[in-house]
Amino acid sequence: MKKSSTNVAFYVPYVLWLALFVIAPLVLIIYQSFFDINGHFTLSNYATYFSSGTYILMTFNSVFYAFVITVVTLAISYPTAYLLHYTKHKQLWILLIILPTWINLLLKAYAFIGIFSQNGGINTFLSMVGIGPKQFLFTDAAFIFVASYIEIPFMILPIFNGIEELNESFVNASRDLGAKWWQTFTKVIWPLTISGVKAGVQAVFIPSLSLFMLTRLIGGNRVITLGTAIEEHFLVTMNWGMGSTIGVVLIVAMFIIMFLTGERKKKRGRRA
């Protein structure tokens, strides 16, 4: 009895934190989403969202770009994490990969503006070799490139941890039973590191849904995502109700992703 009461005590800080910084904001956003710009209780925000083509397109854009960014990051991060696992000074390499995340997002965005702009590093080089300056800034490609660059550490880390936890003897056993490298990868390594991949996808996809700083600075507002819309509603049009409604949509999207990538109970006797 005594023991369980001390256990409860351990939960207090966590529960408080959860209530103040997770539950309360969520409730506030949901509450806010039911008021129009004049402070009247209404469902019109949701009606607007679902009936307006603009918002639906924005949602599609957000999901589409987040998807592309996630795929690009995953395609780069998995092989990187895998190779990293077999390098000598892996802790040092990991540190180098984490390092850029300590730099403010805005600073990184401005750095890329410098690199991509008409008289930036890349175009200077291209002019030198005679190809001439090209438009990089404010293109979709630049947006995806920079967004992927920023998200990569968050993908590499969980995958790297997953691969580190993978017991080498499973790989040996697979090879011992005659599997080639690729077979070993698809049948053993990938399924056993999939939870790291899922964690990475969660860590990248969800924030990518609502990127707004980059859409403006690098994408030149050509790409308008839900994140941009929320920012506009809160800071420009002051329509907090509509902003909150989009926020609710994002939260729902988040739960859908969590559900899709979450660990589900294995069915008994399931084939691998």
Partner 1 sequence: MSKTIIELKHVSKVYGDTVVLKDINIEIEEGKFYTLLGPSGSGKTTILRAIAGFLDPSQGDVLFNGKRINEMPANERPVNTVFQDYALFPHMNVFENVAYGLRIRKTAKKDIEERVANALKMVRLNGFADREISELSGGQQQRVAIARAIVLEPAVLLLDEPLSALDAKLRKDMQYELRELQQRLGITFLFVTHDQEEALALSDEIFVMNDGEVQQSGTPVDIYDEPINHFVADFIGESNIVAGHMIQDYLVEFNGKTFECADAGMRPHESVEVVLRPEDLDLVAPDAGKVTVKVDTQLFRGDYYEIVAYDQLNNEWLIHSTNPAKDGENVGVTFDAEDIHVMRLNETEEDFDARLESYEGE
Instruction: From residue 205, give the alpha-carbon distance in Å to each of 57, 71, 127, 130, 209.
Output: 18, 9, 36, 39, 6
Report the residue number, 36 or 164, with the smaller CB distance to partner 1: 164
Residue 241 · residue 32 · CB < 8 Å: yes
Report the residue number, 77 or 193, with the smaller CB distance to partner 1: 193
Q: Which positions from 5 through 44 interact with partner 1, judged by CB under 8 A?
A: none
Task: Give the residue from 232, 233, 230, 245 showing the smallest Cα distance to 43.
Answer: 245
Q: Which positions from 179 through 208 interact with partner 1, judged by CB under 8 A?
A: 179-180, 183-184, 187-188, 191-192
Task: Report the alpha-carbon distance of residue 48 to residue 198 in Å, rounded.
Answer: 34
Q: Minimum Å distance from CB 193 to partner 1?
A: 11
Task: Report the alpha-carbon distance of residue 80 to residue 218 in Å, rounded.
Answer: 26
Q: Interface mask (CB under 8 A) for partner 1, residues 141-180, using x and -?
A: --------------------------x-xx-xxxxxxxxx
Tokens 């017991």 belong to 167
Report the residue number, 38 or 167, with the smaller CB distance to partner 1: 167
Report the residue number, 9 or 176, with the smaller CB distance to partner 1: 176
Task: Report the alpha-carbon distance of residue 118 to residue 104 in Å, rounded.
Answer: 24
Residue 247 · residue 190 · CB < 8 Å: no
Q: Minimum Å distance from CB 113 to partner 1?
A: 46
Which residues of the chain form contacts with partner 1 (CB under 8 A)?
A: 167, 169-170, 172-180, 183-184, 187-188, 191-192, 266, 268-272
